[in-house]
Every structure is written in C-alpha cells, then in structure tokens.
Structure 1
Amino acid sequence: MSGGRGGRGAARPRGPPGSVPRVGRVFDAAGAAGCVCQCARCAAALGALRRGRGLDSGARSWRRAWRLPASYEAAKASRRTPTARPKKAAAEAAAAAAAAGSGKLEERLYSVLCCTVCLDLPKASVYQCTNGHLMCAGCFIHLLADARLKEEQATCPNCRCEISKSLCCRNLAVEKAVSELPSECGFCLRQFPRSLLERHQKEECQDRVTQCKYKRIGCPWHGPFHELTVHEAACAHPTKTGSELMEILDGMDQSHRKEMQLYNSIFSLLSFEKIGYTEVQFRPYRTDDFITRLYYETPRFTVLNQTWVLKARVNDSERNPNLSCKRTLSFQLLLKSKVTAPLECSFLLLQGPYDDVRISPVIYHFVFTNESNETDYVPLPIIDSVECNKLLAAKNINLRLFLFQIQK
C-alpha cells in the first residue's frame, strides 16, 4: 500500500537507533525558529496546541512515536513570558503617566517651581544655584546666615554646590511664572493669580476682615466687609455721650503719646551742640574657645574727638544659635581713648545708606569714664528674625552710629 508523503501509508523515516526522526527535528525547531512541518499529523497536533485543547490520543501516540518534548506547553509559556512582562510593565507605566497627567497644569507646576528648602512657592525674589535649583529669598538668606554661624561654606541643599550672593542669581522667568499661578484667597477661598491676590485681599474681597469706621471713638468691631454696612447702621458708639467718649479718647491718646515720645527725644538730641555720626562696619570674628562663637567687631573710629569700637554678638552668645529659629543681635559701645572727665553720651544705631534692613530707633544713655569705658550689651532693635538673618547673611554689617554729647 502506497501513498503520498503525507498520507497514512507513508513510510516513516527513521534514523539510527536512539536518534530523533527527521520530522521530529523539524518540529522541535519549529518551537524555537517558527518553522512548521507540513505533514498532516504535525499540522493537526500544532492546531490543537494553539487552540489550547491539548493533544488527542492519536496525537499523544504521535508524540511518543516522534519523540516530541513532553513539556512543550511549558516551553511555549516560557517563550511567551519575556514578552508578556514588558507589556504589563508598559501598561502600568502608561496608567501612571495618565494618572499624573490628569492633574491640572498649575498643580504640577507647584512641585517644579517651589523652593527646594521650604517647598513653598516663592512670594518675592527667587534665587538659583549654579545648577538651577530654586530658593526663595527668605530661605536663601537663612542658609547664608546658618553657614556664617557654623563657620562653614553655604551649600545648596539639593546638589551641595557652593552658594553665596555672588555665585547665585535671581531667576526672573520663574518669578514671572509664579506670579501668574493661581493662589487661594484666605478669606473667600477663591482662586486668583498671585500677582493680583494682594490687591484683591486688601480692596476687593467681600470677606476680608475690616474695622468699623467708628474705631477712632472706641468701637472694637472686626468682621467681614460684607457685614460692615449692617454693623455701622447699628453701632452704638455714635450715640454715646461726650463724657463716655472722653474716657475712650484718653486711653487712645496715652498710647499715641508713647509713640511720639521717642521722636520728640530724637528731635531734642538733634539740637545739641556736639553731635557726631559715622558709618560703621561690623566684621565677623571667632572666639578662641574650644567651641568657637561668632561675634562682630568694627575697626576703631573717631567721633567727638574720641576713639571708639563697637562689638556685637548673636543671641547673647548662645551656645548653638544656628539651632534657634529666633535670632537677635546685641551690641556694645567701647571707649578706647582716655578722658579727663566723665563723658556723658546718648547714642543710637540706625540702618546704613543703601541698606534695606529695618531697624527701629532706640536711644541708649551711658556715662563713660576711664574705669567704666564700655556699655552693657544692649539689643539692636531689629524688627524680626528675618531682618536679623539678612544682616548675618551679609559679609559685613553696615550701620550708622549717632553720638550726642550731653554737656552740663
């Protein structure tokens, strides 16, 4: 009985004993190389495997006859695994990207344009290190002040490159971009561009906190702007008698009188015969202690025909002022020349020319002698810790000293 090559009666080619038949070798190669045997039995077996139905009894006998690998299904699964895993990872990455892109552009820009130190959007100037990392003005000054206190070189908190006022520059593009980002009003909770938010909160917001127009005669009311008209119509202060209003006005005059007393004292000092002033420059130094401390001292200067020196210290020589959020400066005036008679003086320190540090004027008084030639440390009347950090961040502190000699 004869037949074609693929017929039932076709002779099965066999090799030496123990060898793999020719068709079996072609089929084994099909699993790896993609070639397919063209005989009817091989085609039926491959079709069953691809449809996931396994092998019938004839195919199983065919597999035994042609010595096909018993773990063909496992081999097929193992060949699919390397391609299946990247597809799953790609799908997960695409889902994550879609989730990230679903947020608003403004919300995504917050994390890009925020300060690397406080993680908040800058409100004014924006500085950047040589590698482009952004810092708001307050944090930038704070980093420089901390480095001065610890006698270290200030570095960027992200890349650790050196930062200073000469190495860092402002990023005007980021400042303009931040000014256009929306920000929430603290009163009405509506969104406005940051450049318009301050004007809205001061003049336009209907929920902003305001005071009664009768506050000058003692009305203590504070409330939202949209309730102001109703309150003023029902306010009882305009109907008070003159004697009741006088008591209120006396208390207000007392507080106003204290404010004016300082300026009146300065005006009276300016009428003295012997007045001197000079620009002083505090330079940073370190003590000789085992744990060094920062202090400032000026070169010797001459005012009122006498030689003087100014010294300053941080937080009254606190051991670790860099760990404190609140920072203050105190100063001391020393007389270096000899005097033949007691020298009674009044003095005050003010901000120097071309300086933006805010200092409140305070008048101090002392009598200098040869035995008592230095004052106690007195507070430098800086507005707050932010202004103190501005002074500490600078290479030198430039102030103006006024001396008034009191003659008897």
Structure 2
Amino acid sequence: MSSMEERGEVGVAAAPGSSSGLGVGAVGAALETVVGGPSMQEEVGFRRGEGLGPESDPDEPPPKKRMRLPEGESGKLEERLYSVLCCTVCLDLPKASVYQCTNGHLMCAGCFIHLLADSRLKEEQATCPNCRCEITKSLCCRNLAVEKAVSELPTDCPFCLKQFPRSSLERHQKEECQDRVTQCKYKRIGCPWKGPFHELPAHEEECCHPTKTGTELMGILGEMDQSHSRELTLYNSIFSLLCYEKIGFTEVQFRPYRTDDFITRLYYESPRFTVLNQTWVLKARVNDSERNPNLSCKRTLSFQLILKSKVNSAIECSFLLLKGPYDDVRIKPVIHHHAFSNDTNETDYVPLPITDSVECNKLLAAKNINLRLFIFQIQK
C-alpha cells in the first residue's frame, strides 16, 4: 500500500518533527477519554460559535460559564468572610456601625466606644488593639462597605433556625417567623402565657382569663395601675414645676479632670454658669470615685449641684438633668429637691439617670459631656 493511502487511513498526518504518529483527531479523542468530556477542538469550536444565532443549536444547553462551589466550599467561604469582617476586639460580627483605625482594622461600635471610655478612665491614649495606632472619634471613620457586606451575610434565626440575610432578619423575627415568641392578647388582664406564634390561636381559644370574675381581675389590674401611677406622678410633677414663676435652664458642658491624689481619679466639672440670677457649678464622678472603675463592667455617673453665690436667705429649688439637644444618650428624668444656703450650698451626689453601662460609656468616650439643666425655684 502506498504512503498516501496509509495517510488516508490515519486521517490526518502527524505534524513534522512530532515523535507521535497520532493526528489531531486522535489527540482530541484521547483527551476526551482521559477527561471524560468533549474534545478540546469541539470545545473551542463551540465557544467560538456560541451566541452566533442560527448557527448554534437551540436545543443544546448553554455552557456553564462559572463552576458552582460545592455546599461545603460555600460554607468555608462564609467562615472566611466571618473571620475577615469580624471585630478585632470581641471577634464577633458587628451588629450596627463599624469603625476602622488608620490602618484599616475593624471595630464594632460597642467595642470602639468601650476602648475610648477605658482610655479616659486610665488617663491613657486609646490605641487600636491590633497595630497600637492612636484611635479617636476624629481619626477613626466608619467603613460603610463592611457594614453593607455584613448585612448581606447569612445568619440563623434563633427561633426557627433558618438562614436569612442579616439585613432582613429583624423583620423576619418580628413579623414572619412562625416560631417567634409572642404573648397572649389577654396579658393586659394578667395572662402570663408566652410561646411560639403558631401556638397562639390554640392558646387564646383555651385561655381562662377572659372568664375570670371581676374580683380576680381587680387584683390583677391593681398591680398594673401601680406601675402606671409612678410614671404619671413623675409627669404630673414636671407639669407642676412648669407652673412656677422662676424657671431657668441652661446647656451644661462637663469637662474631664484628674484629682491630685497618689492614685488619680477621674471627675467632671462644668464652668460656672448663671441661672435665676445665681452662679452655679455642676460636678460629676465615675462609680462614686471607685478606686479602679476601669476594672468594673458596671459604669455609673453621679453628679451634684453647687451654689457659688452668697445668698441672704435659703433658696429652695427643684432641679433635673436631661440630655443635650445634639446627644443620643438616653436619660430618664428624675426630679431632685434641695434648700440652698451659705452653709448647705452643695447637694449630695445623686445618680445620673442613664439606662445602663453602655450609655455611660458613650458619655465617657466623648471629649465633653453636654447636658441640659433645669432649675425651678419654689416660692414660699
């Protein structure tokens, strides 16, 4: 048989200089056998022809442009994102604002405020726990990209254990979750039942509180009235004070200072201010001058009002502190009374009515504490 016929039997001659006698078609068939998919030549031809309209086969499924990760690999990716986006202090994903130092290390809002408050108590410069660079409210900024990324990460609903993006979890827990904890609609007449939402209709059909006698309900309603009466008494007292002839208020700015003791303590004092034609000063202290308040998780502030003017007769006053017009700290108003004279010109230290230690840390982290003071002079 001639050499041309031999080449015709093989199909395509081997390229010159090649040590193999296999043609391109055979190489493609070998690759298909090893890989278990279409040959390289067919794949290239398909890719070149895709999207050409009539020439492509409409019945053929479209190519996979991106391989899907197995479920295990996806979970590992989420775990890696958790470790990248977590707070460098508490090692948990931030629930609200995210701050970063000048080198990019992330801190959740609670830890950031706590670091600033601790540095104020220790009389030290606040530093990043990772790189030890200086951190302040002016040097650090929020990282909006991380906040958005964290809000899109999945998290488990604590009630039904299904996964939802963090941005929609709150709405799911309040409105959609069938396993969320709810209360009976007859709780206003003393029903203590709490349970999953899907069991609520069955409970309300069998609830015995709607059938209670009037005598039983009167005892339950009496306990509820006591808590409401305390709140009503406070507001009525404030409205009564507004009827006084002499009322004064001012914005008060507390500035931090240190004592001259061997172990210095942090305290706050305001500049002198004038209200009701008298000169006053406000002072505040942390944890009632506890020796090491930075070692305590419970943080409190107490304040006293001092009359600096000399008076001819005693001045009986009521006073209260509220938050300033631009602060976000939560303060519950409490009315205090004192009769000021030249001998009793200072009130006792009374607690600043903030809700918890988190609010106290907000005040300690600030450069100055801004509050609003109201003084009502009681006419004899």
The two structures have a TM-score, normalised by structure 2, of 0.80
Quote the residue 1:262 is aligned against. Answer: 234
Tell me the CA shift for residue 243 of structure 1: 2.4
Gaps of 5+ in 1: 1-97
Quote the residue 1:293 is aligned against. Answer: 265
Tell me the CA shift for residue 400 of structure 1: 0.2
1:281 counterpart (253, 272, 277): 253
Gaps of 5+ in 2: 1-69
Quote the residue 1:367 is aligned against. Answer: 339
What RMSD in Å do the two structures reach over aligned CA positions? 1.3
Moved more, 157-166 or 205-214: 205-214
Which amino acid in 2 is paired with 1:176? K
**Superposition pairs for residues 199-348 of structure 1, below 5 Å?**
199-348=171-320
State how far apart, in whole Å, the 2-side matches of 1:356 and 1:102 are. 40
Quote the residue 2:328 is aligned against. Answer: 356
Percent identity of paired positions between Structure 1 and Structure 2:
86
Tell me the CA shift for residue 104 of structure 1: 3.0
Which amino acid in 1 is paired with 2:299? R
State how far apart, in whole Å, the 1-side matches of 2:185 and 2:75 are. 45
Quote the residue 1:10 is aligned against. Answer: none
Deviations 1:120-161 (A, max 9, x none): 000000000000000000000000000011111100000000
SS at match of 1:176: helix
State how far apart, in whole Å, the 2-side matches of 1:204 and 1:102 are. 27
Q: Kindly tell me the number of residue pairs found equivalent between the two proteins.
A: 310
**Superposition pairs for residues 103-122 of structure 1, below 5 Å?**
103-122=75-94
State how far apart, in whole Å, the 2-side matches of 1:393 and 1:155 are. 13
State how far apart, in whole Å, the 2-side matches of 1:357 and 1:303 are. 24
Quote the residue 1:169 is aligned against. Answer: 141
**Superposition pairs for residues 121-132 of structure 1, below 5 Å?**
121-132=93-104
Quote the residue 2:151 is aligned against. Answer: 179
Asked which structure has the greater CA Rg, the reply is 1
Large movers: runs of 4+ above 6 Å: none
State how far apart, in whole Å, the 2-side matches of 1:360 and 1:349 are. 9
Deviations 1:215-274 (A, max 9, x none): 111111111111101100000111122222222212211221112111111111111110
Which amino acid in 2 is paired with 1:316? D
State how far apart, in whole Å, the 2-side matches of 1:303 and 1:256 are. 33
Deviations 1:62-100 (A, max 9, x none): xxxxxxxxxxxxxxxxxxxxxxxxxxxxxxxxxxxx9x9
State how far apart, in whole Å, the 1-side matches of 2:155 and 2:244 are. 53
1:380 counterpart (352, 364, 369): 352
Which amino acid in 1 is paired with 2:195? G
Tell me the CA shift for residue 291 of structure 1: 1.1
Deviations 1:9-39 (A, max 9, x none): xxxxxxxxxxxxxxxxxxxxxxxxxxxxxxx
Tell me the CA shift for residue 188 of structure 1: 1.1
Quote the residue 1:148 is aligned against. Answer: 120
SS at match of 1:214: helix
